Amino acid sequence: MHSVPNPRVNQLLAMLPDEDYRQLLPGLELVALPLGQVIYEPGIPMDHVYFPIDAIVSLLYVMEDGASAEIAVVGKDGVVGVALFMGGETTPSQAVVQSAGQAYRLGARRLKDAFRRVGGRRQGVLHDLLLRYAQALLTQMAQTAVCNRHHTLDQQLCRWLLLSLDRLPSNHLVMTQELIANMLGVRREGVTEAAGKLQRAGLIKYHRGHITVLDRAGLEARSCECYAVVKRECDRLVLQGTSAKRGKTGSPTGTVRDGAR
């Protein structure tokens, strides 16, 4: 029988107690996220939120002339579509699949109902967990703005690679230099030069859009403080902040059989 990814590969779903998780499970739908797919557009009401499993989604701000820059990345650490439970319904940013994979999506109505009331209680763990994640995402956005203003392209690239690695199940990324340049809001030639430095230093291997990180510790040493700030705040708010409140959870890894989710 065909197996499908366990929804609890996603860290937010993994953090939920069984009771809260069971409330969401009937509405979770596994979908493919191909490279370049636009999940939502600026100003358009969102119909779903997405819990990535092995994909990365970039949140981009697109200028009137078509230029863009990444403001945050979301992978198995979080959820795409925070405006739905924050009350905004829309955002001025665009969400685009940066690294292809799969995600579980949940309809807007079911998410809102679960966010407000879980298992007959006023507010469940989901409410607190999603708000903590939203704060962590705001930290990432703010730190990205600071990094782009004050740090070198080499440091920005290291930060970007590390954030992407944290949101993928392996040390391998499929990403062209042109796409990286669009994400960072810089010229492609600058990315080519920065990636070349990292490759010559033995930190990464890059060939025709395939990036393999060979020395993560080396990348962390060359990165600015921005990566550590984002990582520390995410761990504090999401992983550590909910550990004392959550009950028994299922396994956050592995697969489940069809019909057995």
The single residue listed with the structure tokens 């782009």 is 148
pLDDT at 81 over 50: yes
The torsion region of residue 36 among left (phi > 0), alpha (psi -120 to 50) and beta comes to left
Mean pLDDT of the chain: 85
Can you give the pLDDT at residue 250?
46
pLDDT at 119 over 80: no
pLDDT at 193 over 70: yes
Give residue 2's pLDDT band: very low, low, confident or very high (50, 70, 90).
low
pLDDT one-digit tens code per residue, 8-61: 999 999 999 898 898 899 999 999 999 889 999 998 999 999 999 999 999 998
Mention the CATH class of domain 152-223. Answer: mainly alpha
Can you give the pLDDT at residue 127?
86
Residue pair 261/10 in contact by the 8 Å Cβ criterion: no
The single residue listed with the structure tokens 């600015």 is 224
8-state DSSP, 81: -
Element counts in the chain: helices (H) and strands (E): 11, 12
Q: Where are the alpha helices (DSSP H) in the chain?
A: 11-15, 18-24, 83-86, 108-116, 125-150, 153-166, 177-184, 188-200, 216-222, 225-234, 241-243
- State the Cα–Cα distance between residues 27 and 32, nearest whole angstrom: 16
Stated pTM of the model: 0.84
Query: Which CATH superfamily hosts domain 1-150+232-245?
Result: Jelly Rolls (2.60.120.10)
* Full 3-state SS string of 160-202: HHHHHHHCCCCCEEECCHHHHHHHHCCCHHHHHHHHHHHHHCC
Residues spanned by CATH 2.60.120.10 within the chain? 1-150+232-245
pLDDT one-digit tens code per residue, 149-182: 899 999 999 998 999 888 887 788 888 788 888 7
- For residues 62 and 24, the model is more confident at 24
Q: Which two tokens stand for residue 24?
A: 């969401």
Alpha-carbon torsion angle 170, 174, 176, 177, nearest 10: 10
- For residues 242 and 252, the model is more confident at 242
Please say whether the dihedral angle defined by the alpha carbons of residues 22, 117, 110 and 112, taken in this order, is positive or negative.
negative
Give residue 244's pLDDT band: very low, low, confident or very high (50, 70, 90).
very low
Residues spanned by CATH 1.10.10.10 within the chain? 152-223
- State the Cα–Cα distance between residues 158 and 193, nearest whole angstrom: 13
Can you give the pLDDT at residue 241?
58
Residue 100, Cβ density class (10 Å: 0-12 exposed, 13-18 middle, ≥19 buried)? middle
